[in-house]
Amino acid sequence: MIKQDIVKIIPLGGLGEIGCNMTIFEYQDKILIVDVGFKMPEESMPGIDYVIPNSSYLKGKEKNVVGIVFTHGHYDHIGAVPYIISKIWRRDLPIYASPLTKGIIIKRQLEFSKLPKLNIDEVRNGSIVKLKPFTIEFFSQNHNIPDNLGLIINTPLGNIVHTSDFKFDPAPVNDLPTDFKKLESIGNRKVLLLMSDSTGAEEEGHSLSEKDIFQNLEKIFQQANGRIIAATFSSLINRIQQMVTLAEKYKRKVIVEGRSMKTNIEISRQLGYFKIKKGTLIGKKNMRDFPDSKIIVLCTGAQGESSAALMRIVNREDKTIRLQKGDSMVLSSSVIPGNERSVQNLKDNILRQGAKVFHYKMMDIHAGGHAQKEELEKMIRIMKPKFFIPIHGQYSMLFSHAQIARETGILEKNIVVAENGQIVDLDPQRIFVEAKTVISNHIMVDGLGVGDVGEVVLRDRKMLAEDGMFVIVAVIDRKTGQVKGSPDIISRGFVYLRESKILLGETRKRVVGIINRTTGSEGAANMTYVKDEIRNKIGEFLFLKTQRRPMVLPVIIEV
């Protein structure tokens, strides 16, 4: 068989969604993996901890993996490593990441026992790595975490540029401004395919510079007479840095609340990506040693997460830090779709306690990390690719990004809006989506279980949440087929049992009636039928009485 002279690009996650970023590049059986991210579950997945990409495409091809490269240290790009790495790991598997990304991956790996210790080689702006048949060059890209790298994937058929998450920032934090000269030199090297971040593709104009954010945050520092309590994502290292820089400028001591934020600050600081003076950080217990006007609390929980540090403070569960009049509360993060109500409740509860609230809708104290329409167009014009695939984002974002590409003059047939699991064939002449797809349904992680919660379990959870459950335990005399004593009923989430004695009494009577009518003297043979009868008849009866449909589960014991 002649090997096909094409590069296959197979997104296993990140297309048509936010998160779970993981892409396969394959040339004549050799496989390069870019990013291994996870995402948080949707509301329709109760009890699920994370969602990870399905890596079964790699089964049997483990030896063909020439390496894994990571673009940056956010969990939607590295979070599934502990779950997926052991399936393809071998002692000499090359893994590349920037120093900060490496630090975060290794730290996360430590949370899981029994996993292999990863050997990750450091790369940085300008690094070139050979993973035959691919050569990967790394280049700096601005985002909201330091040490973010775009990729030039040199294949035997041409150059593929993968932007990573990015935005153009003329004045970033702890980072150099976007180097357009460098980007242009990449664009001049003939880019066959551009794969570019679509998260901001529905937003008009240009993303805010971190400098603007800094200036607005500074206004809050200038006005605040009391404490400042600032909440953001623990992964927004750059925003946290801004707060610390301002704290030092305005002589406030910094208290950090929330384990993940502490960890991220620690890692970044050790690696030199976070600047904080000695003495700036103080422990919570020392808060009272300083006047309120000299304190800032940095914490997680700007999304209204019920278990986060901010929620404890606002709900008065934190014994040391109590919200008080005069506090200025800064919510410096956008609201993730689905969290709007929690954030609204959070805001209301802060205001009720007399504190001030500053949030990103009132002034520009938060910027996303993603390029918006103007920047995306500029990136395409700089790279001048022949082919274009929008990546990272909901379908509507990919769609909008494709429109932008069209407007820059890229031919319709050269733009592919792909979906997870599709196989995109690329050669110097054309780009093409195969009819065949690979398995790409995501895997749910719940506690120690990876993939063991499927549709059946989820459906049951949702049913249980709606109207609860109703277990009926009846003991039958094997000889007579008649019920012994009164059936037991165990019900939760349906009605308040103490106030439903009449309903339960009637139900018991009906259960006895159904059993005594349907069992013969040899009960055993008909037990399935008896159970079905109870399930249906009692289900109907309860619905008639309550208009609710609890899960009815009959248990029949023969003695």
Residues near its own copies, by CB under 8 A? 16, 42-43, 46-47, 202, 337-338, 340-341, 344, 347-349, 351-352, 357, 361, 394-396, 399, 446-449, 452-454, 456-458, 460-469, 471, 473, 475, 484, 488, 490, 492-496, 499-500, 545-548, 551, 553, 555, 557, 559
Task: Find tokens 């993981």 and name the residue.
Answer: 22
> Whole-angstrom Cα distance, residue 389 to residue 404?
12
CB 150 within 8 A of CB 71: yes
Instruction: State the nearest-atom distance from the C-beta of 553 to its own copies, in Å.
Output: 5
Instruction: State the nearest-atom distance from the C-beta of 43 to its own copies, in Å.
Output: 7
Instruction: State the nearest-atom distance from the C-beta of 348 to its own copies, in Å.
Output: 4
> Whole-angstrom Cα distance, residue 25 to residue 31?
6
Q: Name the residue nearer to its own copies (CB basis): 63 or 459.
A: 459
Q: Name the residue nearer to its own copies (CB basis): 414 or 500.
A: 500
Instruction: State the nearest-atom distance from the C-beta of 363 to its own copies, in Å.
Output: 12
Q: Where are the beta strands (DSSP E) in 493-550?
A: none
> Whole-angstrom Cα distance, residue 88 to residue 153?
21
Q: How many other β-carbons are positioned within 10 Å of the β-carbon of residue 329?
A: 26
Instruction: State the nearest-atom distance from the C-beta of 64 to its own copies, in Å.
Output: 30
b/e 142-160 (16+ beta carbons within 10 angstroms → b)? bbbbbbbbbbbbbbebbbb
> Could you tell me which residues are beta bridge partners of residue 24?
10, 33
Q: Name the residue nearer to its own copies (CB basis): 293 or 334.
A: 334
Q: How many other β-carbons are positioned within 10 Å of the β-carbon of residue 357?
A: 16
> Whole-angstrom Cα distance, residue 325 to residue 280?
24
Instruction: State the nearest-atom distance from the C-beta of 511 to its own copies, in Å.
Output: 15
Instruction: State the nearest-atom distance from the C-beta of 81 to its own copies, in Å.
Output: 19
Q: Name the residue nearer to its own copies (CB basis): 208 or 357.
A: 357
> Whole-angstrom Cα distance, residue 396 to residue 453?
29
Q: Name the residue nearer to its own copies (CB basis): 157 or 469.
A: 469
Q: Name the residue nearer to its own copies (CB basis): 253 or 531.
A: 531
Q: Name the residue nearer to its own copies (CB basis): 156 or 447.
A: 447
Q: Which one-letter DSSP state was computed for residue 325?
A: T
Report CA-CA distances (Å) from 425 to 9, 13, 330, 417.
7, 17, 48, 13
